[in-house]
C-alpha cells in the first residue's frame, strides 16, 4: 500500500544517504502509480547507480501522469548517458509524443524502434506506435507501423481500426476489420466498440445492422458499454427505433445509455420523445448530466418550447447540480433568438461567466439575420475570420 511504502521511505530517509537501485526503482514505481510524480522524481534523483529499470520506472511515472515534456527530456538524458531504449522505454516515449501531438517526434521514435528490432520482438511497441502516430494525425504513418508488426495481436488490429475511425475513415476501418477475420484474429469487446464507430450516417445503416448482428452473435453485446455504442451507432445512422430497441433490452442502464437514447431521437427531431425519455430518466433515479441537459435545451430550442427551456436552464444547478457550460448558454441564446427575443439573447452573451465562443456568437448572428436586427449583429460581430459569420452579417446588409 501507499502508506506502507511511505513508511519505508521515511525510514530510509532517516538513515540518510542514497537509495539502492532496487529499492529506489520500487519507490519510483509506487509513487508513479499513485500519481505522485514529484515524489517519484525525488526518489529517482536519490538512486546512486541507476539501471535501465530505474530510468523506465521514471518514464512510466511521467507517462501515467500525462506529463509528456519531462518524459521526453528524460529520454534525451538517457540518450546522453548512452542507454539503449527497451520496449518499456519506447512505449512511454511514444505516449509522450501522442500527448504532445508531435507527429515528427512520433515518426522519429517509431523509426528508431523499428531499426532496433524491438517492434519485431515486442508487438506492444508496434501497437503503441500505431496509436501514437494516429493521435498525432498521421493515419498513413499509423498504417505503416501496423504493417511492420509481424505478429499482430488483437490489440494491433483494434488500434488500427480505432485509428481509421478517429480520422473519419469508416470504410478503411471496416476493411481492416474484415482482414482481421480473414487472418484468424478474434475481435474482443474493445474491437467491437471501436468498429461500431465506423458507421456514422444514414448511408451506413445497412453496414451498421450487419455489425450489430456480428456484435450480438459474438457474445460481446451484453455489456453496458457495447450496448451504449450500438444505441449511438443506430442513432447516427438515423434509426432511432432500432436504437430504442437496444435501449429497452438493457437490464442495466448508465447515464450514458440514457444520453445515447435521447440523442438518437433528437437527431430525428422527435422532441416530444426527448422530453419523455428525460422524464423517464429522472423517474428511474438516474441523474442527468451536462450532455443530457444540452440535448434537452437543444430540443426546447428547436421545438419552440421557450418557457420550458428557460425554466430548465435556470434549474440546472439547483435541481440537478449541473454547472452550466458554454453549450448550455449557446442553446439558450439560440432559443431566445428563434423566439425573436434578440436583445435578451445579447444580454445572455454579455452576462456569460466566460468569454462568448464562436458558437454562441454564431447563434446570436443567426437570430439577428432571422429578425433583421442589424444593431445587435454589429455588436455581436467581434470575430475576425470565421467565414460563416461574415456570410450571415453580409446577408443583413
Q: What is the rounded CA–CA span in Å between residue 358 and residue 336?
A: 17
In this predicted structure, which of 58-67, 247-256, 277-286, 341-350 has the lowest mean pLDDT?
341-350
Give, in order, the Cα–Cα distances in Å from 92 to each of 47, 102, 224, 273, 277: 21, 14, 31, 47, 44
* C-alpha distances out from residue 76 to 6, 50, 89, 100, 325, Å: 30, 16, 12, 16, 41
The pLDDT of residue 230: 96
Q: Which of 37-46, 144-153, 161-170 is predicted least confidently?
A: 37-46
DSSP character string of 17-38 = SPBPHHHHHHHHHHHHHTT-HH
Q: What is the pLDDT of residues 187-218, one digit of tens each?
A: 999 999 999 999 999 999 999 999 999 998 88
pLDDT at residue number 281 = 96
Task: Give the global pTM.
Answer: 0.84
Give the integer Cα–Cα distance in Å for 360 and 95: 35
Residue 295: predicted pLDDT: 97
Query: How far is residue 296's CA from residue 340's CA, in Å, rounded to a whole number?
Result: 20
Domain boundaries, the chain: 201-279, 287-397
- CA 23 to CA 85: how far, in whole Å? 22
Of residues 57 and 344, more confidently modeled = 57
Cell of 281: 430518466
pLDDT recorded at residue 76: 95
Residue 391 has pLDDT above 60, yes or no: no
First-to-last C-alpha distance (Å) of the chain: 69
CB of 78 closer than 8 Å to CB of 92: no
CB atoms within 10 A of CB 339: 19
- Asked if pLDDT for residue 155 goes beyond 90, the answer is yes
DSSP string, 314-332: HHHHHHH-PPP-HHHHHHH
> Which class in CATH covers the domain with range 287-397?
mainly alpha
pLDDT tens column, 260-295:
999 999 999 999 999 999 999 999 999 999 999 999
What confidence score (pLDDT) does residue 397 get? 45
Which 3 state secondary structure label does DSSP give 214?
Answer: helix
Give the pLDDT band of residue 374 (cuts 50, 70, 90): low
Percent above pLDDT 90 for the chain: 70
- Read off φ and ψ for residue 165, nearest 5 degrees: -65, -45
74 compared with 1, residue with greater pLDDT: 74
Q: Which helix (H) or strand (E) holds 54?
A: helix 52-64
Read off the C-alpha cell for 44: 529517482
Write out pLDDT tens, residues 87-118: 999 999 999 999 999 999 999 999 999 999 99
Closest C-alpha to 103, from 140, 63, 149, 151: 140
Per-residue pLDDT reduced to its tens digit, 163-181: 999 999 999 999 999 999 9
> What DSSP assignment string belongs to 121-169?
H-HHHHHHHHHHHHHTT-HHHHHHHHHT-SS--HHHHHHHHHHHHHTT-
Amino acid at each position: 500500500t501507499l502508506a506502507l511504502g511511505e513508511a519505508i521511505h521515511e525510514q530510509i530517509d532517516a538513515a540518510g544517504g542514497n537509495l539502492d537501485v532496487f529499492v529506489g526503482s520500487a519507490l519510483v514505481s509506487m509513487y508513479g502509480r499513485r500519481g505522485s510524480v514529484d515524489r517519484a522524481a525525488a526518489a529517482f534523483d536519490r538512486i546512486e547507480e541507476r539501471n535501465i529499470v530505474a530510468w523506465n520506472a521514471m518514464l512510466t511515472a511521467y507517462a501515467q501522469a500525462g506529463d509528456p515534456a519531462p518524459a521526453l527530456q528524460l529520454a534525451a538524458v538517457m540518450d546522453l548517458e548512452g542507454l539503449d531504449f527497451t520496449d518499456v522505454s519506447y512505449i512511454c516515449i511514444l505516449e509522450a509524443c501522442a500527448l504532445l501531438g508531435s507527429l515528427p517526434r512520433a515518426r522519429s521514435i517509431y523509426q528508431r524502434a523499428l531499426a532496433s528490432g524491438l517492434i519485431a520482438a515486442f508487438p506492444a511497441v508496434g501497437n503503441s506506435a500505431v496509436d501514437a502516430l494516429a493521435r498525432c494525425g498521421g493515419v498513413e504513418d499509423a498504417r505503416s507501423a501496423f504493417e511492420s508488426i509481424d505478429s499482430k495481436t488483437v490489440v494491433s488490429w483494434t488500434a488500427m481500426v480505432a485509428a481509421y475511425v478517429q480520422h473519419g475513415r469508416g470504410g478503411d476501418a471496416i476493411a481492416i476489420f474484415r482482414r482481421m477475420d480473414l487472418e484468424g484474429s478474434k475481435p474482443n469487446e474493445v474491437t467491437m466498440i471501436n468498429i461500431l464507430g465506423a458507421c456514422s450516417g444514414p448511408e451506413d445503416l445497412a453496414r451498421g445492422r450487419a455489425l450489430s448482428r456480428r456484435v450480438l452473435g459474438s457474445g460481446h453485446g451484453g455489456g453496458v458499454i457495447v450496448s451504449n455504442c450500438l444505441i449511438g451507432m443506430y442513432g447516427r445512422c438515423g434509426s432511432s427505433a432500432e436504437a430504442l430497441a437496444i435501449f429497452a433490452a438493457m437490464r442495466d442502464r448508465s447515464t450514458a445509455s440514457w444520453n445515447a437514447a435521447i440523442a438518437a431521437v433528437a437527431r430525428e427531431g422527435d422532441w416530444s420523445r426527448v422530453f419523455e425519455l428525460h422524464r423517464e430518466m429522472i423517474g428511474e433515479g438516474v441523474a442527468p448530466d451536462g450532455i443530457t441537459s444540452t440535448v434537452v435545451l437543444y430540443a426546447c430550442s428547436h421545438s419552440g418550447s421557450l418557457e420550458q427551456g428557460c425554466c430548465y436552464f435556470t434549474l440546472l444547478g439547483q435541481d440537478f447540480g449541473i454547472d452550466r457550460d458554454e453549450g448550455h448558454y449557446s442553446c439558450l441564446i439560440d432559443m431566445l433568438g428563434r423566439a425573436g427575443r434578440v436583445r435578451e439573447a445579447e444580454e445572455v452573451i454579455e452576462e456569460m461567466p466566460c468569454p462568448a465562443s464562436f458558437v454562441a456568437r454564431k447563434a446570436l448572428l443567426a437570430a439577428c439575420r432571422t429578425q433583421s436586427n442589424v444593431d445587435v449583429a454589429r455588436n455581436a460581430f467581434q470575430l475576425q475570420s470565421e467565414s460563416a459569420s461574415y456570410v450571415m452579417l453580409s446577408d443583413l446588409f
